């Protein structure tokens, strides 16, 4: 008998034709990384319902938890790395010369 364990994280890597990593995306697996109901069990009813809805959306398997994209110059040096986490925090690291 084969038993499948639930997964908590899926990482999707995308490369371009030159085999450079251009996108890294992490998504929740079959279930959120923590029990959402327990996280909000002591909240007032209305706040708990709102918090459950937000957390369910943030940790939905169909949406990335975080995404990082990469750009390279003509010589293959990484010149830009940017991304977001939960659509809350954006970051961008760019270098004018010499790559990262």
Residue 64 CB-half CA count within 13 A: 16
Strand ranges across the sheet with 78-85: 9-15, 21-28, 64-72, 78-85, 89-94
> Could you tell me if residue 100 is inside a domain?
no
| 45-86: pLDDT as tens digits | 888 888 888 877 777 777 888 899 999 999 999 999 998 876
pLDDT of 13 reads 94
Phi-psi domain of 87 (left: phi exceeds 0; alpha: psi -120 through 50; beta: other): left
The SS3 of residue 8 is: coil
| Count of domains observed in the chain | 1
pLDDT of 42 reads 80
> Could you tell me if residue 4 is inside a domain?
no
Which range marks the domain in which residue 16 is found? Answer: 9-94
pLDDT of 45 reads 81
| 3-54: pLDDT as tens digits | 555 567 788 999 999 999 999 998 887 777 767 777 778 878 888 888 888 8
User: What is the distance between the alpha carbons of residues 91 and 81, in angstroms, rounded to a whole number?
Assistant: 8
């Amino acid at each position: 008998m084969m038993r499948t364990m639930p997964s908590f994280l899926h990482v999707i890597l995308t490369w371009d034709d030159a085999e450079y990593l251009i996108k890294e995306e992490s998504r929740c697996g079959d279930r959120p990384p923590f029990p959402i109901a327990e996280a909000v069990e002591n909240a007032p009813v209305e706040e708990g319902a709102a918090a459950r809805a937000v957390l369910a959306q943030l940790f939905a398997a169909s949406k990335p938890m975080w995404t990082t994209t990469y750009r390279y110059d003509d010589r293959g040096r990484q010149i830009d790395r940017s991304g977001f986490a939960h659509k809350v925090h954006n970051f961008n690291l760019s270098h004018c010369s010499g790559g990262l």
